[in-house]
């Protein structure tokens, strides 16, 4: 439930599904941030989240770029925020966890020399990506593979980790010699 094995003409590749999904989401989010494209899916019932006091100023700075990603978030006073809309196709089951992860990742990436948009795209992708060990259906695997190889840079995630490794048939045959 961590890897996808895909046969290719010269052998096979093993894809790390979490790292690949980070790459896919990173490119998608960065494109949205740079194009200021907003595709908001309104929530029937707004979702409340809590932001720690020491991180509220940072979170408030991120509200405008988050809107570019498709989030509609409003302060509800104190440490409370209400999410009225999420990016189209986004899973709303774990928004508190995603926002907590987003803030933590954003703070970790601040020592990197990247733009605010790139930092936000990296942070959002890392916190929203499939978690390691998640079982995917065949259709979900195909979609992930197609989305990965449609990326501008499918070989590694924004941190430089490989999305997949390739094994040539001759290397495999040597193992059985």
Give the pair of three-digit tokens for residue 41.
């899916």
Q: What is the per-residue pLDDT for 124?
A: 86
Cβ atoms of 6 and 12 within 8 Å: the answer is yes
pTM of the model: 0.77
CA distance 156 to 145: 14
Please report which confidence band the pLDDT of residue 38 belongs to, taking 50, 70 and 90 as the band edges.
Answer: low
Q: What is the per-residue pLDDT for 138?
A: 93
CA distance 77 to 99: 17
115-137 as b/e, with b when 16 or more CB fall inside 10 Å? Answer: eebbbbbbbbbbbbbbeeeeeee
Q: What is the per-residue pLDDT for 93?
A: 67
Q: What is the per-residue pLDDT for 135?
A: 92
Say whether pLDDT at 82 is over 70.
yes
**Which residues lie below 8 Å from residue 162, measured CB to CB, with a gap of 6+?**
16, 19, 155, 156
Q: What is the per-residue pLDDT for 26?
A: 93
Which whole number is the average pLDDT over 148-160?
93
């Amino acid at each position: 439930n961590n890897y996808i094995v895909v046969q290719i003409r010269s052998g096979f590749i093993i894809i790390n599904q979490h790292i690949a999904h980070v790459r896919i989401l990173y490119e998608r989010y960065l494109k949205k941030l740079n194009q200021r494209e907003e595709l908001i899916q309104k929530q029937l019932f707004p979702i409340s989240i809590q932001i720690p006091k020491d991180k509220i100023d940072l979170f408030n700075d991120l509200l405008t770029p988050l809107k570019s990603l498709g989030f509609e978030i409003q302060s509800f006073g104190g440490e409370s925020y209400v999410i009225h809309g999420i990016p189209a196709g986004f899973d709303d089951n774990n928004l508190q966890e995603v926002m907590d992860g987003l803030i933590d990742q954003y703070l970790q990436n601040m020592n990197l020399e990247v733009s605010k948009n790139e930092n936000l795209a990296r942070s959002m992708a890392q916190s929203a990506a499939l978690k390691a060990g998640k079982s995917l259906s065949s259709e979900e695997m195909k979609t992930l593979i197609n989305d990965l190889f449609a990326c501008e840079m499918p070989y590694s995630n924004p941190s430089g980790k490989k999305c997949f490794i390739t094994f040539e048939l001759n290397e495999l045959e040597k193992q059985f010699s």
